[in-house]
Amino acid sequence: MTTDLLSIELQKAANSRIAEVDFNNLPFGKHFSDHMFVADFVDGQWTNLQVVPFDNFTLNPALSALHYGQSIFEGMKAYKNEEGEVLLFRPLDNFHRMNESAKRMCMATLPEEVFMGGLEALLRVDADWVPSTPGSSLYIRPYMFATDTYLGVAPSKTYRFCIFTCPVGVYYSNPPKLKVETDYIRSAPGGVGFAKCAGNYGGSLYPTLLAQQAGYDQLIWTDAIEHKYIEESGTMNIMFFMDGKLVTPATSDSILKGVTRDSIIKVVKSWGVDVEERKVTIEEVITGIENGTLTEAFGAGTAVVVSPYSLIGYQGKDYMLPETADESSFSKKIYNYLNDLRTGRIEDTFGWTHKVV
C-alpha cells in the first residue's frame, strides 16, 4: 500500500463554536470541536487528507458499512499540561490496535503517518478545545468505515478514515451498579471481541437495556461457553483488588486489549503490587465480596479512566462493594496517578506522553 502524503489540506471553520460550550459542565460526547480530519482510501492509497470544519457527511444509501458493518473505531484522550501544551497518551497503542481491528474486519490498514499526521494536524488547529479544568480532557474519536456502494457481501475496496474530538468531563457521576450477564454474550472465541468494531457495541445495547430496566447501570459480561468466567464490564475492561493483588481477566480473542488496562497493570507493577492476569470466575468474586477479601471492583477504559463499582448483582442477589470514594482507595490512587501522568504533573518514567507540537 502506498500513501499519497503530499500534504494535509486545512480548511478553517468560518466561526468557532467554542463560546457555546460550558467547560465547567461537560457532558460526555455531546459537544464537538470545530474541525475534523478526513482521509479516503481509494485505488489502494490513502488520499485526500484534509482538516475541515466538523460537518455532516453525504452518504450513498448503498454504503456497505451501513449494511454489513465494516466499521471500526478508537477512543483516546488529549490533556493540557500547566504550560498549556497539548499532551496525548500512548497514541501509538491506539494506532496499532486500530490496525488490528482493521485486519480482523478485512479493512484497509492505516500508515502511521496518516493516523498521527492527521491527529496532530487536527489537535493543532483545535488546541483551544482541550480543557484544562480538573477531571476534564479532550476525547478523540478516530474511526474508519467502508464506503463501497455495492450490495454483494464482500470487503469494500474503499474506506473513509475520520477523527473528531469532544471536550469531556467525567463519564459516570456515581459509581455504577453492575449486573452479571449470564444469558446474552458480548463475544465468543473466534469472534471479533478483541476488535473495536461497531457491531460489538450495537449487540450490547439490548442486554444492557434489560439490565437498566431491572435497576442496574451496566453489565459484567461472562464467557460465551459456560457463563462462568468474567470477561469485560460494559464497554470497559474490568479489574479487582483482592487479597492485596490486582486481578483482571487475561486478554483473549474475546476481550479488548485496553490501553488503560495495560497502563494500570504496568503502573501498579512498578509500585510493587502483584498483578494476576488470568481467568477470573464470578464465583470467586462473589465469595471475595462476602468474606471481605475483595475490596474493590472497577472498570478501566479511555472514556471512564478508572470507574469504581458500587454493587454487583448475580443470580437475583445484590452484593455491595465497600465505599471507594476516599483518597486512600486503590482505584482512586491509580486514577490520580494516571491523571497526573497524562497532564504532565509527574515525571513520565514510562515514556507514554506525546507532546503535540
Q: Look at strands 218-222 and 177-181 and give their pairing.
A: parallel
Cβ nearer to ligand COI, comparing 155 with 191: 191
The enclosing H or E element of 121 equals: helix 112-125
Work out how close the CB of 299 gets to ligand COI at its nearest, in angstroms, rounded to a whole number. 9
Stretches 83-91, 101-109, 217-225, 299-307: which one binds ligand COI (CB under 6 A)? 299-307
142, 119 in Cβ contact below 8 A? yes
Stretches 32-40, 275-283, 301-309, 349-357: which one binds ligand COI (CB under 6 A)? 301-309
Cβ nearer to ligand COI, comparing 302 with 353: 302
Size, binding site for ligand COI by CB under 6 A: 6
The phi-psi region of residue 111 (left if phi > 0; otherwise alpha if psi is between -120 and 50; otherwise beta) is beta
Work out how close the CB of 61 gets to ligand COI at its nearest, in angstroms, rounded to a whole number. 26
222, 182 in Cβ contact below 8 A? yes
- What is the amino acid identity at position 276? E
Site for ligand COI in 199-238 (CB under 6 A): 201, 235
Give CA–CA dist 257/97, Å, rounded.
8
Work out how close the CB of 153 gets to ligand COI at its nearest, in angstroms, rounded to a whole number. 26
Nearest CA-CA partner of 106 in 71, 62, 139, 141: 71
Stretches 54-62, 107-115, 273-281, 298-306: which one binds ligand COI (CB under 6 A)? 298-306
Rg of the chain over Cα atoms, rounded to whole angstroms, equals 21
Grid cell at residue 124: 493543532
Residue 207 to residues 181, 203, 221, Cα–Cα distance (Å): 8, 8, 10
Q: Binding marks (x or -) toward ligand COI, 39..78, rule CB under 6 A?
A: ------------------------------------x---
108 three-class SS? coil
Cβ nearer to ligand COI, comparing 295 with 353: 353
Work out how close the CB of 1 gets to ligand COI at its nearest, in angstroms, rounded to a whole number. 26
Of all residues in this chain, which one has the CB nearest to ligand COI in the complex? Answer: 75
Q: How far is CA 151 from the centre of its chain?
A: 31
Stretches 79-87, 128-136, 238-246, 300-308: which one binds ligand COI (CB under 6 A)? 300-308
Given candidates 301, 307, 335, 337, which one binds ligand COI under the rule CB under 6 A?
301
Cβ nearer to ligand COI, comparing 75 with 308: 75
Is 183 exposed, middle or buried, given 0-12, 13-18 or 19+ CB atoms closer than 10 A? exposed
Grid cell at residue 179: 449486573
Per rule CB under 6 A, is residue 305 in the interface with ligand COI?
no
Per rule CB under 6 A, is residue 302 in the interface with ligand COI?
yes
Place of cell 462462568: 228
Given candidates 303, 311, 338, 356, which one binds ligand COI under the rule CB under 6 A?
303
177's CB contacts (< 8 A; 6+ apart) are 215, 216, 217, 218, 309, 310, 311, 313, 318
Nearest CA-CA partner of 197 in 74, 85, 30: 74
Site for ligand COI in 245-284 (CB under 6 A): none
Q: Binding marks (x or -) toward ligand COI, 157..196, rule CB under 6 A?
A: ----------------------------------------
Q: Binding marks (x or -) toward ligand COI, 72..91, rule CB under 6 A?
A: ---x----------------
Question: Rounded to 5, what percent of the chain is helix, strand, coil?
Answer: 25, 30, 45
Q: Binding marks (x or -) toward ligand COI, 327..356, rule CB under 6 A?
A: ------------------------------
Interface with ligand COI (CB under 6 A): 75, 201, 235, 301-303
